[in-house]
């Protein structure tokens, strides 16, 4: 990861970290002003000042709550940057597909680990993104060997002090993969699990981001932060028919599972059968 952080050419460009700081400052200002108005309302009871303060508080409390809620992950990252500033943290940022038909979820067997997991994978980074990561001294992760498949994956290790800056960059979507088609094509079309004819394209809907709490990973021998963007497939009628035709298939490469089976990690009640299902599969339910 060599190079320097590229300078945007657009004169009206606002770096994501500056925009985030503005949003957080706005949220803090709303919160402080709301509290001041609330205190004033109690202090000057039965007066015009009290009525104005109460009205002002009610007018600001909702936008304050919205602003703070919208920045809660960014605020958590700022705390992590302080709490783990001198430690190396492993980061894995991926996207997962929720593919659901008739109450069951489609999972595929992992190529590296013999368990069933959602369609999806780690985001790829462009040369521009690699330049940015180099500028914050991010290192390639060595937990999974780097080969043609894993090259440019967004699995990195970096000093905790840079976590907030990294997250603002990730939020900007600049310099990284920003569509889930690649893994869908690689895991379902190229493997002939699904026919290519009905899938010249796909529609999908972004469902949100899940950022796990930092925890120590004995496998990585370091603290670890796992992030996942969840997308839901919106199949056309023809695509839905193609998916439904696989519900009764017996191929080992994939399977359809209920939410209960996924939550129980593949343990089937009343039977000795155990189908290994990855822990992160629960994120798509």
Which residues are CB-contacts of 183 (< 8 A; sequence separation ≥ 6)?
95, 97, 119, 120, 121
Q: 267-279 pLDDT, tens per residue?
A: 877 777 778 999 9
Would the pLDDT of 21 be above 70? Answer: no
CB count, 10 Å around CB of 242? 18
- Residues near 45 by beta carbon (within 8 Å), at least 6 away in sequence: none
pTM score:
0.75
Mean pLDDT, rounded, for 115-142 = 94
Please name the residue ranges forming H helices in the chain.
Answer: 16-43, 48-70, 72-83, 127-135, 163-172, 181-184, 237-244, 259-263
pLDDT for 152-193, tens place per residue? 899 999 999 999 999 999 999 999 999 899 999 999 999 999
The band of 7, judged by pLDDT with boundaries at 50, 70 and 90, is very low
Could you confirm whether domain 86-284 is CATH 3.90.79? yes
**pLDDT digit string, tens, across residues 28-72:** 554 555 455 445 445 555 555 444 544 544 454 445 444 454 578
Reported as a pLDDT band with limits 50, 70 and 90, residue 263 is very high
At 170 the pLDDT is 95
- For 73-91, write each residue's pLDDT tens digit: 888 999 999 999 999 999 9
CB atoms < 10 A from the CB of 279, how many? 10
Domains of the chain, by residue range, sit at 16-70, 86-284
Residue 251: pLDDT band (50, 70, 90) is confident
Averaged confidence pLDDT in the chain: 81
């Amino acid at each position: 990861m060599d190079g320097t952080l590229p300078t945007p050419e657009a004169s009206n460009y606002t770096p994501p970290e500056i925009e985030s700081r503005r949003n957080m400052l706005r949220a803090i200002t709303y919160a402080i002003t709301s509290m001041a108005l609330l205190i004033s309302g109690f202090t000057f009871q039965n007066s015009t000042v009290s009525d104005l303060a109460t009205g002002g508080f009610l007018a600001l409390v909702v936008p304050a709550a919205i602003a703070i809620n919208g920045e809660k992950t960014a605020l958590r990252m700022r705390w992590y940057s302080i709490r783990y500033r001198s430690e190396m943290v492993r980061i894995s940022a991926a996207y997962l597909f929720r593919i659901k038909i008739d109450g069951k979820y489609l999972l595929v067997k992992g190529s590296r680990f013999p368990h069933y997991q959602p369609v999806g994978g780690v985001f790829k980074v462009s040369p521009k993104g690699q330049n940015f990561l180099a500028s914050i001294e991010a290192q390639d992760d060595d937990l999974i060997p780097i080969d043609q498949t894993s090259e440019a994956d967004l699995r990195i290790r970096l000093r905790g002090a840079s976590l907030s800056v990294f997250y603002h960059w990730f939020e900007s979507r600049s310099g990284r993969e920003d569509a889930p088609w690649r893994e869908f094509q690689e895991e379902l079309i190229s493997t002939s699990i699904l026919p290519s004819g009905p899938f010249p394209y796909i529609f999908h809907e972004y469902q949100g981001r899940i950022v796990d709490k930092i925890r120590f990973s004995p496998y990585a021998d370091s603290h670890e932060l796992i992030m996942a963007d969840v997308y839901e497939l919106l199949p056309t009628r023809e695509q839905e028919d193609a998916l439904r035709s696989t519900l009764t298939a017996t191929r080992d490469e994939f399977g359809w599972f209920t939410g209960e089976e996924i939550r129980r990690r593949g343990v089937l009640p009343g039977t000795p059968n155990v189908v290994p299902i990855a822990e992160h599969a629960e994120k798509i339910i």
